[in-house]
Amino acid sequence: MYSNRDALRHELSWTHYRILIRVENPEARSFYEVECAKNNWSSRELERQKGSMLFERLALSKDKKAVKRLAAKGQDVQTYEDMIKDPYVLEFTGLSPQAKLYENKLEQALIDHLSQFLLELGRGFTFVARQNRITLEGDHFYIDLVFYNAILKCYVLIDLKIGKITHQDIGQMQMYVNYYDRILRRHDDNPTVGLLLCEDKKDAVVRYTLPERNKQIFASRYKLYLPTPEELRKEMQRYKF
């Protein structure tokens, strides 16, 4: 709860604070207050981020000092790892987790709800292209979604995968990243990031397919519904190295 000594931010409305006072964890409440002010979230955006447990998803992979910094300063995007979440929550697409899903259907749903997807991706993202074609010696390849992160000054290539990703999927993303780095990246851009969004993954497959010091390619799961805190904790423990 807020006391009389707590300073209210003039950027936030009473509706924002009505949502914030329902957040029991003081660190999470502080985080959402800071993020609201920094990113000019509407009350609806705040409600959605709270419901998707953004703070918990970011905090579970951090140590206690990092969690304290997260609560006090909000999300500080300085490295590629800071930009990546696992899992991503895509409940706004309206797609049923029980329905048969196709990659083009998921892609279209993300384009149809692009503003919500940008919110889920995080700070600094702008949309560049969908089905971005790469032609190599007459063979055509298509990157599902291309974004640019203005904070880290890098392209972010996203491939959507239904089911479990394979080493072939990872190798293909490596090719896309190499192409962007060698052909399309401007001199003032940082190295390209590749993100495979999948329903499931084997971390050992990801780890041993990629170079030992890989900093550019990531694989994250997505959820088509809002997970409970307990589900999220179990998922994070399951996929922890």
Question: Tens digit of pLDDT for each residue in 165-217?
Answer: 999 999 999 999 999 999 999 999 999 999 999 998 988 888 888 888 889 99
- Strand 217-223 relative to strand 193-200, pairing: parallel
Mean pLDDT of the 96-100 span: 80
Q: Is the pLDDT of residue 26 over 50?
A: yes
Q: What is the pLDDT of residue 59?
A: 83
Closest listed residue to residue 135, CA positions, set 179, 195, 185: 179
Q: What is the pLDDT of residue 4?
A: 43
Mean pLDDT of the 112-141 span: 95
Closest listed residue to residue 39, CA positions, set 121, 111, 114: 121
Q: According to the CATH classification, is domain 77-238 in 3.40.1350.10? A: yes
**Distances in whole angstroms, Cα of residue 36 to Cα of each of 43, 48, 114, 126:** 9, 12, 19, 19
**Cβ(33)–Cβ(70) under 8 Å?**
no
Mean pLDDT of the 58-87 span: 86
Neighbours of 110 (CB within 10 A): 26
Q: pTM for this structure?
A: 0.85
Q: What is the pLDDT of residue 115?
A: 94
Map out the domains of the chain as residue ranges. Answer: 1-76, 77-238
**Cβ(162)–Cβ(101) under 8 Å?**
yes
How does the average pLDDT of the chain come out, rounded? 89
